[in-house]
């Protein structure tokens, strides 16, 4: 079936995986990638699909309501997968206003533009969907009731036999929102607006809340790519606080697969949690990364542990996130496909094999040359 799908934030980390998956898997869909190309947007992430006939890039700011109206009408958009956002917690602590502008006002502008267009059509909302990608951080922080870890209560492909959970509670779809950082507060607000457009105007919407993603093309301000690159260059590894915070890691292509499934088969107005059932204390994860990079570079395994540098903790640092994604498993049959050991090996190899991609970012060349050369 022909469809015109708008994917926002497609030049970023997760968005580029979603665009690639849709462009390759659905030749009958027209995929419009709308992105402002902030520091986090990099069109080099999509080199392999940029010439496809079913792909179009549009540079625009989601907070510009007139532009959103124009673009949605021009491309006759009948489905939206909304990933564009300011996404880095540390930046939100320094500059909360940019997060409110993009994540809250930008999402609202996109919702309003879609509502106006879809309501103007004879079939109105039939066959339409506004799918909003959100985060587990809106639920707040869980306690570390078992600092040494207890056997994880769920079994999935992402877990290995000795997987541990660091607390008894998990985020479920009905967990009360309790965001702590300006980033998570802005995402929580945008989630509420999306649900309000369903409840008030009857717009078909859907929200998913996902745990920490890792994999190729992640901007090297985030823990995993930053540390891989620093190890390679023998630079310090800044561990916040004592490194005891816990995150639940999911390979980015598994997230993209979940988005595809939910976009096509998810129930309107529902919320689905997406997670890896794969909890790691930061310091343990960092040691796995160190070992993997050392081995692949031919250095004695663990020799880069000397680079670990404990630094002042992130303000308001959430202690533990852990997602229960059994609803998505039981209703739609999704589960993570990769064991963590396999995913991290694949990820480290990718960054080491794509040093040019990394160097273009750390030098700033990706903004000066690649993004600017692109015709828009
Ligand atoms: P990212 O920072 O890598 O990419 C964000 C993209 O949005 C960039 O391409 C950027 O240019 C674009 N963008 C920013 N402001 C814009 C604006 N005003 N108008 C248009 N485009 C704009 O982010 P990511 O890690 O890929 O996250 C994508 C989405 O998934 C976000 O909504 C984030 O909250 C959510 N999420 C991320 C994770 C994770 O672990 N990275 C986990 C759960 C949910
Ligand atoms: O849980 C989902 C969220 O995961 C997403 O919504 C966010 O967009 C995404 O950025 C991520 O948020 P985190 O804050 O968990 O990711 P980050 O990579 O910044 O940090 C992971 C953990 O590592 C966190 O506990 C902070 C710590 N950290 C991070 C950096 C960058 C360090 O100890 N040192 C660092 O230099």
For the stretch 316-348, what's the b/e string if a residue is b when 16 or more beta carbons lie within 10 angstroms of its beta carbon?
Answer: eebebbbbbbbbbbeebebbbebbbeebbbebb
Name the E strands within the chain.
3-8, 29-35, 55-59, 79-82, 129-135, 150-151, 164-165, 205-210, 212-214, 237-240, 246-251, 271-274, 279-281, 308-311
State residue 364's pLDDT score: 87
Distance, in Å, from the CA atom of 312 to the CA atom of 283, rounded to the nearest integer, reads: 15
For the record, the structure tokens of 371 come out as 């993004």
CB-based contact 4:79 (threshold 8 Å)? yes
30 DSSP β-pair partners: 4
Say how many Å lie between the CA of residue 329 and the centre of ligand 2: 25
Domains, the chain: 3-215+249-277+316-339 (3.40.50.720)
Identify the CA nearest to 277 among candidates 223, 245, 321, 222.
321
Say how many Å lie between the CA of residue 87 and the centre of ligand 1: 5
State residue 368's pLDDT score: 76
Q: Which ligand is nearest to the CA of 13?
A: 1
Selecting among 183, 272, 321, 366, the annotated active-site residue is: 183
State residue 373's pLDDT score: 59
- Decide: pTM greater than 0.85: yes
Q: Quick check: CB of 11 below 6 Å from ligand 1? A: yes
Note if 136 is an active site residue: yes
State residue 255's pLDDT score: 98
CB-based contact 362:308 (threshold 8 Å)? no
State residue 257's pLDDT score: 98
pLDDT, mean of each 10-residue run, the chain (376 residues): 96 98 98 97 96 97 98 98 98 97 98 98 98 98 93 78 88 98 98 98 98 98 98 97 97 98 98 95 97 97 97 98 96 94 96 96 82 56
Q: Quick check: CB of 323 below 6 Å from ligand 2? A: no
| Orientation angle between helical segments 282-297 and 340-353, nearest 10 degrees | 50
């Amino acid at each position: 079936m022909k469809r015109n799908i708008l994917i926002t934030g497609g030049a970023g980390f997760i968005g580029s995986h979603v665009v690639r998956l849709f462009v390759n898997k659905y030749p009958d869909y027209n995929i419009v990638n709308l992105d402002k190309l902030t520091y986090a947007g990099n069109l080099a992430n999509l080199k392999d699909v940029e010439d496809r006939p079913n792909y179009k890039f549009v540079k625009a700011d989601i907070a510009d309501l007139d532009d959103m109206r124009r673009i949605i009408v021009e491309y006759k958009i009948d489905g939206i997968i909304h990933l564009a956002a300011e996404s880095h917690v540390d930046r939100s602590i320094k500059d909360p206003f940019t997060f409110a502008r993009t994540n809250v006002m930008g999402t609202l502008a996109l919702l309003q533009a879609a509502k106006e267009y879809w309501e103007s059509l004879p079939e109105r909302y039939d066959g339409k969907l506004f799918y909003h990608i959100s985060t587990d951080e809106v639920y707040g922080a869980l306690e570390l009731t078992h600092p040494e870890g207890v056997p994880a209560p769920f079994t999935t492909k992402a877990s290995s036999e000795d997987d541990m959970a660091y607390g008894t509670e998990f985020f479920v779809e009905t967990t009360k929102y309790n965001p702590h950082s300006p980033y998570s507060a802005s995402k929580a607000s945008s989630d509420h607006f999306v649900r309000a457009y369903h409840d008030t105007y009857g717009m078909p919407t859907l929200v998913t809340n996902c745990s920490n993603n890792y994999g190729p093309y992640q901007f090297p301000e985030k823990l995993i790519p930053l540390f891989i690159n620093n190890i390679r260059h023998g630079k310090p590894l800044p561990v916040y606080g004592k490194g005891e915070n816990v995150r639940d890691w999911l390979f980015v292509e598994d997230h993209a697969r979940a988005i595809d499934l939910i976009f096509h088969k998810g129930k309107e107005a529902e919320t689905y949690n997406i997670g890896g059932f794969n909890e790691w204390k930061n310091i343990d994860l960092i040691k796995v990364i160190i070992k993997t990079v050392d081995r692949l570079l031919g250095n004695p395994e663990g020799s880069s542990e000397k680079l670990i540098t404990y630094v002042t903790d992130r303000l308001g640092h959430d202690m533990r996130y852990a997602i229960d994604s059994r609803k998505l498993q039981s209703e739609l049959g999704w589960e993570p496909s990769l064991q963590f050991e396999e995913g991290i090996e694949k990820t480290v190899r990718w960054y080491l094999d794509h040093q040019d991609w990394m160097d273009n970012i750390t030098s700033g060349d990706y903004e000066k040359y690649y993004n600017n050369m692109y015709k828009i």
